[in-house]
Amino acid sequence: MKKYAVLLLFFCLSLASQDYYRDGVLTGSTSVFLQTPSSRVFNVVDSFPSPFSYSMGLGCDGRYLWNDDAFTHTFARIDPLIDSAVNTFTPTYGDRDMAFDGTYLWASDWATYSIYKYDTSNCAIVASYDPPFADHAHGMAWDGAYLWVGEESGRIYKMNTIGDTLRSLPSPGPYPSDPRGLAFVSGHLWVGHQGYGCIYEIDTITGAIINFYNAPGTVPSMRFQQGLDFDGQYLWSTVGGDANMLYKIDIGMVNVEEQKQLAGDEIKLNIRPNPLVRTAAISFTIQTPSTVQLSVIDESGRTVSTIIDRKPLPAGNYRYDWQAGKEQNGVYFVVLRVNGLARTVKLIKL
């Protein structure tokens, strides 16, 4: 019997393990039992216990953290300067992940499958909608204009605030993909995976895995990754179960003002005419030799034209013409990426 038990354990571990690569380099393994040296490790700069028995969702409103409990429909507004809750609320619904849109707090509810919008002063429900999928709603993130919502059975949906789906991505990791927390950071999604105790950084256009990390926590079997959010400089993670902690993580981001200054110094992007009818002249300046990518995407996030594809260019002034005659009228975005920094300009075709 012991022999068969060992064989069964080995078989389960082999199913639970899967390696991921970036540009041919191993970045991590999904096995929560067999963590490998190639799995990236977060730089945790602060941590403290959640006020709840099972910490679940997490949101940042610029000043406070919002955390909810998996089982009691209770929200806590937490001051990270004192590592303690300053208010608690008991809305009727909302017990999974959270996101803040600059004015309102959003949260998903496991039992009702629905998405709820809250007034942050009292957590009264302002509006709600049912997402267009059959499974439970889980992870949530706000990208500055749209919500990203994770479906428990393994997809992530980009939606407007009335529930219309613009597009969807497969959640990273093997089944059950179970996207728990979601966070939007500089054009990428960070996706928590409870079952494998890990966090992925993915491309929001292709869904490709950019980086893979072990979820924070010292005991692998207790890394029940749940909520995620980004406060403008740090990634925050909450881990439920026996660990039941909130973690502040340095992912190497400069603060918002420094980022704007760097972008302003290194990226000059102009488009004429705007609006356009057939052709737009796209001009830009780079101050130092750089790797450049220039593309045009539509409102759904689909790339309609890749003008420069990660090409090394010397410092100087450049101009490229985008022929848009065959494209439908509407709103487009010209995205210029220079050495990891990005500048985006809205373009209207008439």
d(CA 235, CA 253): 9
The arrangement of secondary structure in 19-250, i.e. its CATH architecture, is 6 Propeller (2.120)
Indicate if the pLDDT at residue 206 is higher than 90.
no
Residue 11: in which H helix or E strand, if any? helix 2-16
Rg over CA atoms, the chain:
22
Indicate if the pLDDT at residue 198 is higher than 70.
yes
Return residue ranges of the chain for CATH 2.60.40.1930: 263-349
pLDDT score for 134: 87
pLDDT score for 156: 93
The CA angle 114-119-124, to the nearest 5 degrees, is 65
Return residue ranges of the chain for CATH 2.120.10.30: 19-250
Residue 77: in which H helix or E strand, if any? strand 75-79
Instruction: Confirm if 158 and 177 have CB atoms less than 8 A apart.
Output: no
Fold of 263-349: Immunoglobulin-like (2.60.40)
Indicate if the pLDDT at residue 252 is higher than 70.
yes
Residues 6+ apart with CB under 8 A from 105: 59, 61, 66, 98, 99, 117, 118, 119, 120, 123
pLDDT score for 77: 95
Mean pLDDT of 77-87: 91
pLDDT score for 219: 66
